[in-house]
Structure 1
């Protein structure tokens, strides 16, 4: 089952990369959805993203922006990767 989700994520990311430069704004949402699928299925990917968000304020700001505008189901997945307070 995990392999199926990773294949879906790969297809979403490839479609997002293929359409990111087109005038119809479908590339970025497809990339974000592919990222969400990967984070939802892999704890190590979530930990990696959390450390990247901690070390890169611009990335943290961008993902927080996506969290605020995503449906609740997707926002919960992204909120798991928020950097923890020390």
Structure 2
């Protein structure tokens, strides 16, 4: 029976550092990927939210409606203005 001699200290240290390095790399890449995805999702959500808010605030100017709807609203506004003017007189 041959005696098993212990592994040289240098190779065991190297193996340990290599394994640790690998674990560190994998963890870091996963972490960076997750953070990036979280930021990306957040940015997309915020952009969408901002877009919706802007559209709702300025829909009279921005929102594309059929022309006759806008004209109808304009006519109603003019009628109201005329009515108010008549009431004041």
> Same fold judged by TM-score > 0.5?
no
Scaled by the length of structure 1, what TM-score is found?
Answer: 0.28
Between 1 and 2, higher relative CO (CA 8 Å, sep ≥ 6) is seen in 1
Which of the pair has more CA radius of gyration?
2
TM-score (structure 2 length as normaliser): 0.27
